[in-house]
Amino acid sequence: MSSNRPPRQSRVPTTRIGRLVQLGFTAGELAIGGVLEGAKRISRVTPDDAVNMFLTAANAEKLAQRLAGMRGAAMKMGQMLSMEGADILPREFTDALAALRDSANRMPRSQLRGVLGREYGKGWEARFESFDYEPIAAASIGQVHRAVTRDGRELALKIQYPGVAKSINSDVDNMAMFLRMANILPMELDISGIVAEVKRQLREEADYHIEARHLETYRRLIRNEPSFVVPRAHQDLTTKRILAMDYLTGERIESLERRGVSQAARDRCGTKLQHLLFRELFDLRTMQTDPNFANYLYRSEDERIVLLDFGSTASFSEEFTVRYGEISRALIAGDEGATRRYAEEIGYLRPTDSPEHAERVMRVIQLACEPITKRGVYDFGASDLVARARDAGIEMLFHSHGEFMAPPPETVFLHRKLVGSFLVCARIRARVRVQDLIQRYL
């Protein structure tokens, strides 16, 4: 597990009213920041584009601070926005929100002990030889503590923040409303399907019995993948709100370049991650869909990658993966007609869409799939794809004249994995023969 210490301590707001008030304060702060930014812009010429006065780095930092304090589904949506929003939001805004991928505020000891007492019962301390009250990680749904059991097992205990599970529906609804008020999402865009899918997935993430099953299933599926390590779940100490698993160590994967790991080793690391991505989609049809940097550790002694956090694990039907195989083949072949046909089958386009809108959507699809369409080595670190995709996404979203529709709900978490995997490879500046890897499954 990572050794980075979460930076701040605060009680988790546990009631719906308390969480709504927190988000209300945030909306007020952003409104004030937006007014001040608007006043600044009056005296100077600004580009006539979709970037509104609320989407500033200062406002993003305020939003990140509030969400890190709220934790739960609200923070999880902020994390998703920092990754998937890269296609449609200013870089300064998404960069400031990126802090949400690494850590949340930590619970004070009194609140932590309350959770442990409710889940393990009175005298829970007797189960452990030692328990470290200082968390080794704090994320959106829970924080992780190191412990050693009486029988000598070294464990990482993921302990869920109180009130998170009960507040999922209201958090998601309130965040969706907030994003519309801030003009981050167009008012006319129907996102009801995506909202329902996010709620469903987050309800699963909040049940640690489900995550423990995901851990064991995934360990079995990749048992023949020597490059990856997945912790075991310990059922005797796992409850609905506490997940007990092996304590594993490694370097945070995004630190590889900074620590002077060789280019060849980083290339091998990126190749392993891209290989696993395609195997998850086309072979296993089971995918860990939360690609936060903190969920990958790198063991330099054997170049193995530790995979953490299986709360967000998706399963795909054969029909679903076949369609992605078909559109991938069409894109690699440069067959625009077939790409358009498969884009309609997946639900990215409608037959009635205007040629102008269809062209914009096709452009975004082609950009998103650029690594697989390039023959030879794709240099993630040197790529400016994120900036180009953001420009194309802004044009598609805000110049669609009502034709833009939200992507199919079942693709939401796949998109998050695709974007996140690209960002991880870009962060470690890996160079990968991506097309060669996907061709094995096509």
**Does the annotation mark 236 as catalytic?**
no
Look up residue 146 and give its amino acid. R
Cα separation, 442 vs 52, in Å, equals: 42
Q: What's the CA gap between 128 and 154, in Å, rounded?
A: 10
**285 contacts 317 by C-beta, under 8 angstroms:** yes
From the candidates 102, 171, 267, 290, which is the catalytic residue? Answer: 290
Would you state the torsion angle of the CA atoms of residues 170, 174, 177, 181, taken in this order, to the nearest 10 degrees?
170
Cα 223–chain centre separation: 25
73: three-class secondary structure by DSSP = helix
Residue 290 vs residues 13, 37, 106, 122, 146: alpha-carbon distances, Å: 24, 34, 20, 34, 22
Largest pairwise CA distance in the chain: 69
Contact 229, 247 (CB under 8 A): no
Crossing angle between the packed helical segments 168-181 and 72-84, to the nearest 10 degrees: 40
Task: Give the three-class secondary structure for 76.
Answer: helix
Would you name the residues annotated as active-site residues? 290
